[in-house]
Amino acid sequence: MAAAADSGARVIPPAVAPAPRAMQAPVPAGETDKTLAAMHDELERARTRLSIPGVEKPFYIEYRLLDLDVRNVTASFGALVSSTNTRSRYMNVDVRVGNYHLDSSNFISEDGFQGFLGPSGQVGIDRDYTSLRQDLWLATDQAYKGAATQMSLKQAFLRSLTKPPEIDDLSQTVPIVRIDPRPDPDWTSRNWEDEARKASEVLRNFPQIYGTRVNYYLIYATQYLMTSEGTTIRSSRHLAAIEAALDTQAEDGMPLHNYYAVYVQRPGDLPDPSAVSKSLAQAGTQLMELRSSPLVSDFTGPVFFDASASGSALAQILAPSLSGARPPLSMVPAFDEIMDRMGGRSEWVGRVTTRVLPTSVSLIDDPTAPQFQGQTLIGGYDIDDEGVKGERVSLVENGILRNQLMSRRPGPDFQNSNGHGRSALLSEPLPLASNLFLQSSEPVKSADMKKKFLDACKEDGHEWCIEIKQMDNPALSSVSQQDFSDYLGEIAGGVSSGERIPLRMYRVYVSDGHEELVRGGHIEGLTMRNLRNMLAVGDDPAVYSYLQNPANGFAGTALGAFGSAQGGIPSTVVAPSLLLDEVEIRGFHGEPRRLPLVPAPALK
């Protein structure tokens, strides 16, 4: 329920309100969904009657509601840790005063960031018409009062600027009315608790693994969007995932981990327990190999990213520069500093028609692409979270920047949305990638890529160079939240300058090409400049599926690539192997942890 309303706004409780004077965004005839009816009736009443004496009326009102069914099963070493089935509903109300050019949003006052979203909260799960209208009424009242205050502060701040920004706050769009079916969750007849037990039991074969969690997530979401412009949308999405984390320590005390993740659109498409066990055994074997591997020393030179690693690296490097939306106005200088430190500064704003990648390379984001070479792409959608039809966007053509991902928040280079406003759990929609494709008109065959890599190493006078076969994702590989927090604390200061963490990294010797697994290295300075001057692009594209993190401070930054099925935004990168030059690897210089004082008990 939303917080109780203050006095001032002249809207009476819905139970005694007169009928609305006009119909805005009518619910389609024959539709029996009480949620749509409650949203429509309360939005229409607010649109026509919401006012405060001496304050302009709202020009834009938006209701968003999320109906969520989640089945979550967690197991460890063959034992069930938890099993839950939850149903929840959340609402968010956005009320804006002003106009499309200048409104109450996109502003951070000294009181904090309050500009993007109106009040939000949890609502009843039984789709009751009266209860939902009551929640929406109170939330709308609160959002309008907040917008009026925010607008006053924003106007005062703008008057203090020598040259106020001329970019609009909200782009206009064509209203859409689309009511998709509302499916009931289909958990299938599979026994998910037994599957989690059986799959995780294989890790008992690795007594040196300290901790593990194997999580099954089955998610059904129905989203509602209704605006005073006339948009009315009900859409349903589903996702099924298995995410597993494994951790241990090397003999010298260095903490180590590995992870396994698979994402599909429906629960029935998840692999069976035997296939999951096989994959977990492989992850366990890799972790044991890493545990006994030597530390890597500092290195600067050519680095070869396998196709299995390039997608993750690109997701981190490209994310901040894909967005064309302008950042919010801020009275707080620390906000810009924080965004820079989190790797949230775009390097492509103002660079349209200039070269940003090699002339053979193109970059496309396509939410309408369902598959690639027979593999389902999880980042697709028809309509984005702002009610705009998703479009295929050619971002870079033959190395030249041509476009950017746009939500309804305009930017310096582009004004209108191209259907990339994305969010999760009713977070603020941001221009984020969906299915991102990196392609080359001059791809190099795999054998030739390896030769080119070794030749580059030899030319630089190196005995060995670095090949990366897997990048880390601490949101998945951390067994506990504390591990994730420790990781972020470790790299937060270096994200903006290009610090990235590989998981499986190999020394490749120039003399005979043999490989040696090493551990403990961080990549430093891996930025857009490395991509602009990459030495070669392979012909072996691979699909990398991941969940973008929608949290404030993460979304749209380099850290946004670290998400999980718990509220993440489904996304895909399709990219081949990449050969980059002048990449700096920093060996481990931290403090190892003390090993456990007593050996672990027997797992069998």
Neighbours of 31 (CB within 10 A): 14
Report whether pLDDT(88) > 90. yes
Report whether pLDDT(249) > 80. yes
Average pLDDT over residues 25-29: 73
pLDDT digits (tens, 9 = 90+) for 250-298: 999 999 999 999 999 999 999 999 999 999 999 999 999 999 999 999 9
Strand pairing report for 393-397 and 375-376: unpaired
For residue 22, name the pLDDT band (cuts at 50, 70, 90): very low
- Do 219 and 240 form a contact (C-beta atoms < 8 A)? yes
176 contact partners, CB below 8 Å, separation of at least 6: 231, 232, 233, 383, 387, 388, 389
3-state secondary structure of 456: helix
Task: Give the Cα separation of 171 and 421 in Å (integer).
Answer: 12
* The pair of three-digit structure tokens given for residue 460, joined into one six-digit string: 């630089």
Report whether pLDDT(21) > 50. no
Average pLDDT over residues 217-223: 97
Angle between helices 273-291 and 192-201 (to 10 degrees): 30
The backbone region for 130, taken as left when phi is positive above 0, alpha when psi lies in -120 to 50, beta otherwise, is alpha
For residue 545, name the pLDDT band (cuts at 50, 70, 90): very high
Across 52-66, 95-109, 341-355, 421-435, least confident range? 341-355
User: Could you tell me which of 318, 561, 324, 564 has the C-alpha nearest to residue 421?
Assistant: 324
For residue 314, give the amino acid letter.
Answer: L
- Do 428 and 116 form a contact (C-beta atoms < 8 A)? yes
CA within 13 Å, CB half, 528: 20
Q: Which domains does the chain have, with CATH numbers?
A: 14-68+82-179 (no CATH), 192-288 (3.30.2290.10), 299-586 (no CATH)
Proportion of the chain above pLDDT 90, given as a percent: 73
* 384 bridge partner residues: none
For residue 142, give the amino acid letter.
Answer: Q
pLDDT digits (tens, 9 = 90+) for 478-530: 877 777 777 666 665 556 567 888 999 999 999 999 999 999 998 988 889 99
- Do 249 and 595 form a contact (C-beta atoms < 8 A)? yes
Average pLDDT over residues 402-430: 95
For residue 437, name the pLDDT band (cuts at 50, 70, 90): very high
Task: Give the Cα separation of 566 and 552 in Å (integer).
Answer: 15
For residue 597, name the pLDDT band (cuts at 50, 70, 90): confident
The pLDDT value recorded for residue 18 is: 34
Report whether pLDDT(1) > 80. no
Average pLDDT for the chain: 89
pLDDT digits (tens, 9 = 90+) for 337-354: 666 665 567 889 999 999
Strands (E) located in 250-321: 255-264, 299-305
Burial class (CB in 10 A: 0-12, 13-18, 19+), 63: buried
For residue 7, name the pLDDT band (cuts at 50, 70, 90): very low
pLDDT digits (tens, 9 = 90+) for 291-333: 999 999 999 999 999 999 999 999 999 988 999 998 888 777 6
337 contact partners, CB below 8 Å, separation of at least 6: none
What DSSP state is assigned to residue 533?
Answer: T
Higher pLDDT, 547 or 339: 547
